[in-house]
Amino acid sequence: MTDIIRIPNIDNYIVEIIGGELILTPKDSYITATELSQTCFKHSRILECSIKDGEEVVTDKTSYLTNLKNIYKTMPAQLILQTTQFNVKLTNENGEKGYHWCPLIQMSFQNKDANGTLHEILHMVRVNNYTVQLRIQLKSGRIVKINNTCI
């Protein structure tokens, strides 16, 4: 084969060869809802976060748990209890069976990994009609972007 294939800006892609096939995946792209449900976020890190209620910033941190707590503190306790996907108790269960006491909301909840916490964040964004913009670097190095169209 004498044909040469040139790909400009190759640094913007993750290059993989699987089964003799060259696969180029953009490093920085919006994820689809299907991809979101199939992507592992363990050992990922938030690079940028903006969750807003209209123009008001609800949270903009790079920690999954801090973002979730900041969302929770904008909500009435009853709404959290009715809509959360986490195990929650109204008593201080700190350290018991994986529960973490959160004084901001006066509740204990069981911690989850990055997958579970991200899905709870996105669930609460939907519940509260917030807008979300996230850039997350996956363990593989790929950078995915999440906004309201993905959830």
5 found inside a domain: no
pTM of the model: 0.83
- Does residue 37 form part of some domain? yes
Over range 104-129, report the average pLDDT.
95
78 domain residue, yes or no:
yes
pLDDT digits (tens, 9 = 90+) for 26-48: 777 788 899 999 999 999 999 99
pLDDT at site 1: 61
Whether residue 146 lies inside any domain: the answer is yes
Q: For residue 98, what pLDDT band results from cuts at 50, 70 and 90?
A: confident
CA separation for the pair 17, 3 (Å, rounded):
19
What confidence category does residue 117 fall into, taking pLDDT thresholds of 50, 70 and 90?
A: very high
Whether 14 is covered by a domain: the verdict is yes
Tell me the two tokens of residue 86.
Answer: 């986490």
Residues 146 and 132 sit within 8 Å (Cβ to Cβ): yes
Which domain range does residue 109 map to?
10-150
> Cα 12–18–24 angle (5° rounding)?
15
- Exposed/middle/buried for residue 60 (C-beta within 10 Å: 0-12, 13-18, 19+): middle
Q: For the chain, what is the domain count? A: 1
- Residue at 1 is within a domain: no
Domain-embedded: residue 45 = yes
